[in-house]
Amino acid sequence: MLDYLSQIRSLQSMLQGKEISCTQLTRAYLDAMDRDNPKLNAYVTATPDAALAAAKRVDEKLANGEALSPLEGIPMTLKDNISTKDIPTTCCSKILEGYVPIYDATVWKLLKEQNAVLLGKTNMDEFAMGSSCETSCFGGAANPHNLDHVAGGSSGGVASAVGGNLAAYGLGSDTGGSIRQPASFCGLVGLKPTYGAVSRFGLVAYASSLDQIGPITTNVEDTALVYDQICQYDPMDSTSKGAQGDTASHLKDPVQGKKIGIAKEYLEGLKPEVEAAIQQAMKTYEAMGCELVEISLPALKYALPVYYILACAEASSNLGRYDGIRYGYQADSYRNTHDMICKTRSAGFGKEVQRRILLGTYVLSSGYYDAYYKKAQNLRGSIVRTFREAFAHCDAILAPTVPTTSFPKGFTSQDPIVTYQTDICTVPVNICGLPAVSIPCGFDEKNLPIGMQLIGNRFAEANILNLAWQFEQATQGQFNKKVEGGLAL
Ligand code: GLN
């Protein structure tokens, strides 16, 4: 199987051609998980019974000669902040210990209806706050390319599983880079859709004005196939708009003459190998007949503080619901209700989550609201305008996904500010609600993957996936290198 060709389509043609049954395929993945998950720590909950039950339904359909839906029978995973009825959803936090949702997130409902085979729920930074998966109460997930490095975060478990061949694809969430950064660290493709394109009903909220759900896959076509199935309008999410869902049919569109914006603000402070890979990608696009245009994004310098002020403010409000009464964990002994809530939250939330709740409460408190929260909201408008102006001159923007490659284990526990700074290239699109896809574009001196982003205008997913797919073809998937281990077909 060539790594840059659709894994989803080739698995489905194997199923349809009766080369393998869905039960055999599912068992092969479950065996691979038993063998490799102890070293990757990608999965926090395995769901073999549900997976085999779905596989059985697919095999029955195949036996009856029925056609399969686009994702039917394909083994996959969900980040553990996507609600799954009767299956624990912990957000990798002690405070949600024992919590089992009574309903499905819309994205899972859509996939379940077409017999997607859920292998299990994957590891993440606690409540999606982090960049290495190491704030998880289950410990971090390893990078399949190098086990001494992290898979990234916060959707690190999805990337570790997909990169380690323990799932064909997965869904993660991206509030400030959590799909694109782990995809970049693990040599995968990850799409953060336009705000409103994919329903967030059932996604445990971190920062509601920024959160989006999207796919992580091994190649661009699979990202398009998955996105097209999940971008439906949903009356259960008041911010849902839905989208066309026809990106897969535009992958092969010609890209000659398309204008790719390059902003110097995105190219500052990069690790030299990352910079070289981006420069090389620019040359590739030029050779493909695209035009590189210089653009300027002056307001980008405000993006990081704006993100951390708004995200923490929204988190402090969203996480108010974990009081020890309604969900999960509750402190054992306490004097009164106030003491119970205090003890539950102190023991239930990890250090990073507590830091963000405190920061968020601070920037929202009277006296500081104008100086921080309101100012950040105003600057958000400037950042939105800066991108709007840029898109008057180009069709898409090319930028690194992260200034660096995967961190060694333990790096993010040293200085939170240093870690926050590595989100500089991913947070701007969340602030503006724009779509961006991260695709592999090189390797560093340790052979760790490098990723780049194609950023599009609102609802221009088809355009950025088209540019991404054409790049993958032009470079013959040389950067989508598969690692050993996991399922081997
Ligand atoms: N690393 C960023 C943060 O810590 C992004 C997280 C996310 O997208 N969920 O907030």
Say how many Å lie between the CA of residue 192 and the centre of ligand 1: 12
For residue 5, the model assigns a pLDDT of 87
Establish whether residue 106 lines the binding site of ligand 1, counting it when its CB lies within 6 angstroms of any ligand atom: no
Residue-wise pLDDT tens digits, 112-139: 999 999 999 999 999 999 999 999 999 9
Establish whether residue 475 lines the binding site of ligand 1, counting it when its CB lies within 6 angstroms of any ligand atom: no
Residue 1 clears pLDDT 90, i.e. is over it: no
Establish whether residue 311 lines the binding site of ligand 1, counting it when its CB lies within 6 angstroms of any ligand atom: yes
Q: What is the number of the ligand 1 atom nearest to the C-alpha of 179?
A: 8
Q: Which of 191, 94, 86 is nearest to 135 (CA)?
A: 94
Residue 28 clears pLDDT 60, i.e. is over it: yes
Say how many Å lie between the CA of residue 131 and the centre of ligand 1: 6
Establish whether residue 128 lines the binding site of ligand 1, counting it when its CB lies within 6 angstroms of any ligand atom: yes
Mean pLDDT of the chain: 97
For residue 438, the model assigns a pLDDT of 98
Q: How confident is the model at residue 271 (pLDDT cuts 50, 70, 90)?
A: very high
Percentages helix, strand, coil for the chain, rounded to the nearest 5? 40, 15, 45
| 439, 166 contact by CB (below 8 A) | no
For residue 92, the model assigns a pLDDT of 98
Q: How confident is the model at residue 242 (pLDDT cuts 50, 70, 90)?
A: very high
Q: How confident is the model at residue 338 (pLDDT cuts 50, 70, 90)?
A: very high
- Range 459-484 burial, b when 16+ CB lie within 10 A, else e: bbbbbbbbbbbbbbeebebebbbbbe
The residue count of the chain comes to: 489
State mean pLDDT over 206-222. 98
CA atoms of 134 and 413, how far apart (whole Å): 8
Say how many Å lie between the CA of residue 191 and the centre of ligand 1: 15
For residue 104, the model assigns a pLDDT of 98
Residue-wise pLDDT tens digits, 289-327: 999 999 999 999 999 999 999 999 999 999 999 999 988
Side chain identity at residue 176, one-letter code: G
Q: How confident is the model at residue 482 (pLDDT cuts 50, 70, 90)?
A: confident
Residue-wise pLDDT tens digits, 393-403: 999 999 999 99
158, 174, 175: residue to mutate for ligand 1 pocket, most atoms within 8 A of CB: 175
What is the greatest pairwise CA distance in the chain?
Answer: 71
Establish whether residue 344 lines the binding site of ligand 1, counting it when its CB lies within 6 angstroms of any ligand atom: no
- CA–chain centroid gap for 430, Å, is 12
Say how many Å lie between the CA of residue 363 and the centre of ligand 1: 18
Residue whose CA is at the smallest distance from ligand 1 atom 4: 130
CA atoms of 152 and 216, how far apart (whole Å): 13
State mean pLDDT over 94-122. 97
| 452, 405 contact by CB (below 8 A) | no
- Range 239-253 burial, b when 16+ CB lie within 10 A, else e: ebbebebebbeebee
| 9, 17 contact by CB (below 8 A) | no
- Residues assigned a catalytic role: 79, 154, 178
Residue 89 clears pLDDT 80, i.e. is over it: yes
State mean pLDDT over 180-186. 98
Q: What is the number of the ligand 1 atom nearest to the C-alpha of 307?
A: 10
State mean pLDDT over 223-246. 97
Residue-wise pLDDT tens digits, 438-448: 999 999 999 99
Say how many Å lie between the CA of residue 159 and the centre of ligand 1: 15
For residue 2, the model assigns a pLDDT of 57
| 202, 104 contact by CB (below 8 A) | yes
148: its two tokens: 């001494």
State mean pLDDT over 257-274. 97
State mean pLDDT over 262-281. 97
For residue 3, the model assigns a pLDDT of 67
State mean pLDDT over 404-408. 98
Establish whether residue 401 lines the binding site of ligand 1, counting it when its CB lies within 6 angstroms of any ligand atom: no
